[in-house]
Amino acid sequence: MMFVRLLRRDTVVQGIELYIAVIPVSIAIAIGLALYLIWRITRMDPGTEKMKQIHKAIRQGSHAYLKRQYKVVLAILSLITVVLYFLIDYTHNLGVPYVALSFMMGTVSSLLAGYVSMEAATRANVMAANAARRSQTKPLSIAFQGGLVLGITVVAMSLLGVAGLFYLYWAANGWRNVEKIPELIMGYGFGASLAALFAQLGGGIYTKAADVGADLVGKIEAGIPEDDPRNPATVADNVGDNVGDCAGRGADLFESISAENIGSMIIGGGLFMATQNMFFLLYPIIARAIGLIATIFGAMAVRPKENEAPIASLRKGLIVSTILIAIALYFATTQMLGPHSELLYYASLTGLIAAIAIEVVTEYYTGEHKPVKEIAEAARTGPATNIHIGLSVGMEATALPIILVLIALAASYVLGTQYGQLTGIDPHTGGVYGTVTATIGMLSLTGIILAMDGYGPIADNTGGIIEMSGVEEVSSETLDALDAAGNTTKALAKGFAMGSAAMAALLLFQAYVDIVKIDIFNLIMPSTLIGLIVGAMIPFLFSSQAIKAVGRAAQKMIDEVRRQFREIPGILEGKNPPDYAKCVEISTMAAQKEMIAPSLIILVSPIITGLLLGPIAAGAFLIGVTASGIMLAFTQNTAGAAWDNAKKILEKIGEKGSEQHKATVVGDTVGDPMKDTAGPSIHVVLKLVNNVAIVFGALFLLYALYLVP
Amino acid sequence: MMFVRLLRRDTVVQGIELYIAVIPVSIAIAIGLALYLIWRITRMDPGTEKMKQIHKAIRQGSHAYLKRQYKVVLAILSLITVVLYFLIDYTHNLGVPYVALSFMMGTVSSLLAGYVSMEAATRANVMAANAARRSQTKPLSIAFQGGLVLGITVVAMSLLGVAGLFYLYWAANGWRNVEKIPELIMGYGFGASLAALFAQLGGGIYTKAADVGADLVGKIEAGIPEDDPRNPATVADNVGDNVGDCAGRGADLFESISAENIGSMIIGGGLFMATQNMFFLLYPIIARAIGLIATIFGAMAVRPKENEAPIASLRKGLIVSTILIAIALYFATTQMLGPHSELLYYASLTGLIAAIAIEVVTEYYTGEHKPVKEIAEAARTGPATNIHIGLSVGMEATALPIILVLIALAASYVLGTQYGQLTGIDPHTGGVYGTVTATIGMLSLTGIILAMDGYGPIADNTGGIIEMSGVEEVSSETLDALDAAGNTTKALAKGFAMGSAAMAALLLFQAYVDIVKIDIFNLIMPSTLIGLIVGAMIPFLFSSQAIKAVGRAAQKMIDEVRRQFREIPGILEGKNPPDYAKCVEISTMAAQKEMIAPSLIILVSPIITGLLLGPIAAGAFLIGVTASGIMLAFTQNTAGAAWDNAKKILEKIGEKGSEQHKATVVGDTVGDPMKDTAGPSIHVVLKLVNNVAIVFGALFLLYALYLVP
């Protein structure tokens, strides 16, 4: 109320209460809906005793992992909180430890969002499995609802955190320097991105160690099928789907939108000062809130029908949401940002269009189209040629999405400069705000994309539970259709996550520029060049360590599965159950141990660059990481998904077991840590390095050694 | 004489004739020595009738390839010459068509250097094979002498071209604007780099199509050993060693040193104008000439002894050459560049030291050390884990070499700025000249490194001829020792080529900056960012197309080998000879066809960027290509060599034929097009994009559309 009064005094826009009110309303609707969906799912019938048992094992495994992960993460993050307090809040006499506090809030919110999503996913899986015994459409509905909990919780929690912190600091400090708030709460984005790296990298190591271990010993050595209950690693494999795809991607996108919100507000702060229109500051969070509501309505369009492919139903949800978001953004933008703001609306559309276009390109490269067919065909001459073509497809797939992102960036910048010229704002500032609105447009899709993405691991689990519990009423067509849709939505979500990470990283770079107040990063100076090239090296070093981590963790899993096959009598005849918990524990411990070193590289390298070479080199470092990171992530994500689907194509035409199929299994396994560990973790890396630089930028300005001019 | 008089008038240095005279003297010594070595090798005894036959087939194949390649290349390059003439020389009223002429000279010199080297290599192979029947040390000597022809011819031809053009233009135009000559002859570097791309990419496609084809059908399907005369692709495989490793790498480094010479002189021109010391202009070519003489003396240290590993003898040559070059550079630098020039000498040492350090790192990652052993060990659980660890090693191996190059860059720049401060030259200009001397220092090693590199394919061929002709007197230890040394020298040469390509590319970027006369390339402007990110994408797109090209070419070879096995009666019993010529033809035609599209990407993309977005974006594009290209090349070169050697480790301990060994064969085949086609071609790409931008820079300034600010 006080807040609202303040705004009315300071701004030219009428009815601002209405806009601000959208934020708490949207959060309330979203969290209410999420809780309702969880409650409704929980009340369903989980099926046979065997199903309940398996389900319990998966839930226990997921909880065990989260508990362990949260312990490690909270320990590390508490340490960092203390460091931040002394290095930044204390030395800068900020009074209230804004940065340390918001950092802590960011990590806790991210962990909480992950927890809620996992709860929904690990409940929905068994309900969908049981529903599949009687209906073709019901399991799809349940899995999508589980995914929707992930999508809206992540967006709502991020909004709650950013808007809440904004409100709290404003409440404590009054309206003076309100435009400085985003800079003070930048720790939130940093905390969220560090939690996201642990979630994505740890989850990625977990899931692929279990997957590779289960496949190499179970499928290849012992010759038992996927998800066979005799395989000791099979529960860990299903847990992995949840912790890697569900919690990991959730944390990744939680971070994208949090970072984007704060970065946008940092940049908007400057425009607010210039125009006295406070909406430049608040537009990012209000637009996010409106997008959240549009997403909830869009999700209602997912109404599975008999004789319709599941992916078609899901796609309807995406299309309707996109249209609703485009309409909502039109009203929000033109109402809030004053005359000529339709230019900024067009800028936001470029982001939305780029996101959809990236989805189409991703689908082309990873779906059943020419590239994947060529990979399958190349397997005729063995695994090596299969891998050649897969790698080649992965590298080729960088071109179009990058060009789409860059076109959105260019077009939105140009629209923003025109807006600036028409309204008397500095054209470059206007241009940067144009790119901000493009990023907002793109990220408005986060909720619905995450809902579709969350569907994937739930559908995987559904299949797993049905296989493991020996339920036979479910037709293999129903299962295959569920599974195929999940693979597609996962690939789409990764394409989106990558595109939005690129946009978010470039936006964060602009926020960094604002914070260090340097306006020339000149490539002909050696320190700039050195920073950039070191930055370009980091994603390679990181990927290398991530893949090796999966290799080491998988080796432990392989040894354990072999040991159980050897030592537990009658295990392969199904007489004695395997020790699932032991495998879950191995994956859990390995993930915790292996995620530390690669994360440290990412955390420390921007700080070292900044302190040795200065803030300009650090800025160039960020661009280097972004430029090479985008390519490496697209390459790894696409190649991995394409290899996977090349294998599936052969299975569909009954080639399972042939030499050609075996060659594609090698390709699929090669791609596993690329597409589910290294690739998606790079999305987080892009944003994390920027967040680190934003938080430590002030220190670079004070203490840099400037070893090279 | 007139030239010498001119210099005496204009400069402060005494005895300048002596320095300039070093250039023709060094060229005469080097070319004389090369011809003498070829003559001596030709007079040797080529051995049995069967050996002569095989040898003749390899020579015919190599000639057929070169002939075909030269036709295609000359056709394309003539076209480009005409385009350059009308676009640049004619429209700029340059009178004499400097750019077009020097472009033509650059290509022809590169082709000629390749031709001489191939002549030496394809003569030395059979002589070394015959010598191996009686001696352990003799074949090593012969193969190294063959390689030495490559090394000194390449350096001498480049020097002849650059210094000759300089002299010719000076002779025609007198001493006015002598500092502008390097800019006028920049077409030489462009021509050499385009010829190099065709040589490296075409050669890489040729050699890997033949290799993969011979291995997959011969070794795996028919179960006959490597280099078996019954395999129709085996002659093509041996021809491939020559055209890929020998002519390809020769053209690559021909281009590096030509581009470096011209780039250095463009930058030196500015310093000459400021100081009136003409040595700033001439130092790069004089230093190269002195280095060439030092290399010839250093090569004399290669005196193979009984009971000494071949690699140890070769290494002695490298060490002695390095020491001699370091001493020679000391006198040259301090005598020519005036007071305080010891700082520039130290700067040149940083390049020399970085080159040697990169060799040590490359040896660690690709030799019989921990990383390669881990790759071999990972093959225990199959090809997928073998490939995981290999990829991981490849990506990790980017870190240290990059840091070494950057330290050399930073240190030499800082030394140069100090030199500038002490001598009253603008510190940045001094710093850039410091990096120039570092590049000169590094590239001084080109001759001896190429000699060692050329040894590799000759030793491969030696083994091939012995196997194919059924000579039995040669112990397998002698053969293995020859072969192992060749693998090491090839990996070292690639590490060196990559490091020097990075230095050369950064130097060419500075030359581009000089030409477009822009001194701010600001990363916060969207067009700069867009140029940079598009640039970073190019090496991925290029690699993708190169690997796919090998895949397609190999497929044709596989079909042909299978056809011959099927249709020629008694071929596998050795009763009827296979049709070697047909396989040679297939590789030749496929290489010509497949090299066009990837080359076009490289040729056209900097021009499009420059014309659409302007010269600043084009400059950022160059840095983007360099930053991501270095990483991708190191990754692919290192992973490929490491997989190859992991396989060899298992063969050494008698694991040949085991499942573990088979898994490493898959890894080796995966690495083939990475390490011998895509990776090394990227070296050329880095320099080619810079050369294109240098030549077209004036057009960007005139006609750019500046679509984005």
User: What is the tens place of the pLDDT at every residue in A151-178?
Assistant: 999 999 999 999 998 888 888 877 777 8
Tokens found for residue A195? 């939690």
For residue B669, give the amino acid letter.
T
Instruction: Label residues B159-177 b or e (16+ Cβ within 10 Å = b).
Output: bbbbbbbbebbbeebeeee
Is some CB atom of chain B closer than 8 A to the CB atom of A626? yes
Distance CA B198, CA B205 (A): 10
Is some CB atom of chain B closer than 8 A to the CB atom of A129? no
Beta bridge partners of B500: none
SS3 B335: helix
Q: Which residue among B388, B435, B619 places its CB closest to the CB of A523?
A: B619
How do residues A27-71 score in pLDDT, each as one tens digit? Answer: 999 999 999 999 999 999 888 999 998 899 899 888 888 888 889
pLDDT of residue A9: 44
**Mean pLDDT to the nearest integer, B71-97:** 82
Q: Residue A512: is its pLDDT beyond 90?
A: yes
Distance CA A413, CA A400 (A): 20
Distance CA B559, CA B646 (A): 29
Give residue B247's pLDDT band: very low, low, confident or very high (50, 70, 90). Answer: confident
Is some CB atom of chain B closer than 8 A to the CB atom of A402? yes
DSSP string, B48-100: SHHHHHHHHHHHHHHHHHHHHHHHHHHHHHHHHHHHHIIIIIITTT-SS-HHH
**Mean pLDDT to the nearest integer, A542-570:** 92
Q: What are the C-alpha distances in Å from B171 to residues B4, B178, B272, B397?
A: 12, 10, 19, 48
Q: Please check whether residue B630 is in contact with residue B498, taking contact to mean a CB–CB distance below 8 angstroms.
A: yes
Q: Please check whether residue A186 is in contact with residue A528, taking contact to mean a CB–CB distance below 8 angstroms.
A: no
Axis-axis angle for helices A615-652, A383-396 (nearest 10): 130
A409 contacts in chain B (CB < 8 Å): 526, 529-530
Distance CA B56, CA B205 (A): 23
Q: What are the C-alpha distances in Å from B491 to residues B364, B365, B511, B675?
A: 11, 10, 30, 9
Beta bridge partners of A522: B522
CA distance A414 to chain B (A): 7
Most confident of A191-205, A246-260, A297-311, B622-636: B622-636
Q: Is A472 exposed, middle or buried (0-12, 13-18, 19+ CB in 10 A)?
A: exposed
Torsion from C-alpha of A441, A442, A445, A447, nearest 10 degrees = -100
CA distance B633 to chain A (A): 12
- Those residues whose C-beta lies under 8 Å from the C-beta of residue B465, and which sit 6 or more positions away, are B51, B54, B55, B58, B125, B126, B129, B238
From the list B130, B497, B458, B443, the residue with the least C-alpha distance to B310 is B458
For residue A672, give the amino acid letter.
D
**Cβ separation B388–A551 shorter than 8 A:** yes
Q: Please check whether residue B362 is in contact with residue B492, taking contact to mean a CB–CB distance below 8 angstroms.
A: yes
Distance CA A161, CA A106 (A): 7
Percent of chain B whose predicted confidence (pLDDT) is above 90: 57
- Those residues whose C-beta lies under 8 Å from the C-beta of residue B434, and which sit 6 or more positions away, are B343, B344, B347, B412, B413, B414, B415, B416, B417, B419
DSSP H helices, B427-525, are 427-443, 446-468, 476-516
**Cβ separation A709–B417 shorter than 8 A:** yes
Distance CA A527, CA A706 (A): 8
From the list A602, A491, A555, the residue with the least C-alpha distance to A201 is A602
**Mean pLDDT to the nearest integer, B549-570:** 90
Q: Residue A226: is its pLDDT beyond 90?
A: no
- For chain A, what is the radius of gyration of the CA atoms? 24
- Other C-beta atoms closer than 10 Å to the C-beta of A40 total 12
**Cβ separation B406–A548 shorter than 8 A:** no
The ipTM assigned to this model is: 0.94
How do residues A407-456 score in pLDDT, each as one tens digit? Answer: 999 999 999 999 999 998 999 999 999 999 999 999 999 999 999 989 98
Distance CA B268, CA A234 (A): 67
How do residues B144-184 score in pLDDT, each as one tens digit? Answer: 999 999 999 999 999 999 999 888 888 887 777 788 888 88
SS3 A573: coil
Give residue A14's pLDDT band: very low, low, confident or very high (50, 70, 90). Answer: low
Distance CA A594, CA A597 (A): 7
**Cβ separation B399–A524 shorter than 8 A:** no
Give residue B14's pLDDT band: very low, low, confident or very high (50, 70, 90). Answer: low
Give residue B285's pLDDT band: very low, low, confident or very high (50, 70, 90). Answer: very high
Could you tell me the sign of the dihedral formed by the alpha carbons of A399, A401, A406, A407, in that order? positive
pLDDT of residue A15: 64
Which of residues 656 through 675 in chain A touch B, CB cutoff 8 A? 666, 669-670, 673
What's the gap between Cα A525 and its chain centre?
35
Optimal mutation site among B217, B404, B533, interface A, most CBs of chain A within 10 A: B533
- Other C-beta atoms closer than 10 Å to the C-beta of A364 total 14
pLDDT of residue B8: 43
**Consecutive H or E run containing A483:** helix A476-516
pLDDT of residue B13: 47
**Cβ separation A620–B523 shorter than 8 A:** yes
SS3 B522: strand
pLDDT of residue B10: 46
Give residue B12's pLDDT band: very low, low, confident or very high (50, 70, 90). Answer: very low
Q: Residue B1: is its pLDDT beyond 50?
A: no
Q: Which residue among B383, B413, B523 places its CB closest to the CB of A619?
A: B523
Mean pLDDT, chain B, whole residue set: 90
End-to-end CA separation in angstroms for chain A:
52
How do residues A586-634 score in pLDDT, each as one tens digit? Answer: 999 999 999 999 999 999 999 999 999 999 999 999 999 999 999 999 9
Q: Residue B122: is its pLDDT beyond 80?
A: yes
- Those residues whose C-beta lies under 8 Å from the C-beta of residue A86, and which sit 6 or more positions away, are none
More confident residue, A93 or B687: B687
- Other C-beta atoms closer than 10 Å to the C-beta of B184 total 20
- Those residues whose C-beta lies under 8 Å from the C-beta of residue A39, and which sit 6 or more positions away, are none
Distance CA A688, CA A685 (A): 5
Quote the pTM value: 0.94
**Mean pLDDT to the nearest integer, A653-668:** 91
Which of residues 183 through 242 in chain B touch A, CB cutoff 8 A? 212, 216, 220
Q: Please check whether residue A128 is in contact with residue A457, taking contact to mean a CB–CB distance below 8 angstroms.
A: no
3-state helix, strand and coil shares in percent for chain B, rounded to the nearest 5: 85, 0, 15
Query: Which residue of chain B is at minimal alpha-carbon distance from A616?
Result: B523
Q: Which residue among B387, B522, B545 places its CB closest to the CB of A670?
A: B387
Q: Residue A257: is its pLDDT beyond 60?
A: yes
CA distance B414 to chain A (A): 7
**Cβ separation A628–B628 shorter than 8 A:** yes
Give residue A94's pLDDT band: very low, low, confident or very high (50, 70, 90). Answer: low
**Consecutive H or E run containing B590:** helix B580-594
CA distance B559 to chain A (A): 11
pLDDT of residue A279: 87
pLDDT of residue B94: 59
Which of residues 524 through 543 in chain A touch B, CB cutoff 8 A? 524, 526-530, 532-537, 540-541, 543
pLDDT of residue B399: 96
**Mean pLDDT to the nearest integer, A215-228:** 81
**Cβ separation A523–B519 shorter than 8 A:** no
A385 contacts in chain B (CB < 8 Å): 212, 216, 551, 554-555, 669
Give residue B330's pLDDT band: very low, low, confident or very high (50, 70, 90). Answer: very high
Q: Is A332 exposed, middle or buried (0-12, 13-18, 19+ CB in 10 A)?
A: buried
Tokens found for residue A125? 């899986």
How do residues B435-476 score in pLDDT, each as one tens digit? Answer: 999 999 999 999 999 999 899 889 988 988 998 888 888 887
Optimal mutation site among A395, A402, A503, interface B, most CBs of chain B within 10 A: A395
Percent of chain A whose predicted confidence (pLDDT) is above 90: 57
Among the residue ranges A36-50, A175-189, A325-339, B69-83, the one predicted with the least confidence is A175-189
SS3 A369: coil
CA distance A353 to chain B (A): 18
Give residue B95's pLDDT band: very low, low, confident or very high (50, 70, 90). Answer: low
Q: Please check whether residue B344 is in contact with residue B419, taking contact to mean a CB–CB distance below 8 angstroms.
A: yes
Instruction: Label residues A294-311 b or e (16+ Cβ within 10 Å = b).
Output: bbbebbebbebeeeeebb
pLDDT of residue B5: 47
Distance CA A450, CA A497 (A): 9
A382 dihedral zone (left: phi>0; alpha: psi -120 to 50; beta): left
- Those residues whose C-beta lies under 8 Å from the C-beta of residue A422, and which sit 6 or more positions away, are A339, A340, A343
- Other C-beta atoms closer than 10 Å to the C-beta of A62 total 25
Q: Residue A96: is its pLDDT beyond 80?
A: no
- Those residues whose C-beta lies under 8 Å from the C-beta of residue B423, and which sit 6 or more positions away, are B275, B338, B339, B340, B430
pLDDT of residue A95: 66
Q: Residue B248: is its pLDDT beyond 90?
A: no
Distance CA A1, CA A21 (A): 10
pLDDT of residue A93: 63
Query: Which residue of chain A is at minimal alpha-carbon distance from B665?
Result: A384
Among the residue ranges A250-259, A535-544, B383-392, B598-607, the one predicted with the least confidence is A250-259
Axis-axis angle for helices B249-275, B679-703 (nearest 10): 40
**Mean pLDDT to the nearest integer, A513-531:** 94
**Mean pLDDT to the nearest integer, A530-548:** 97
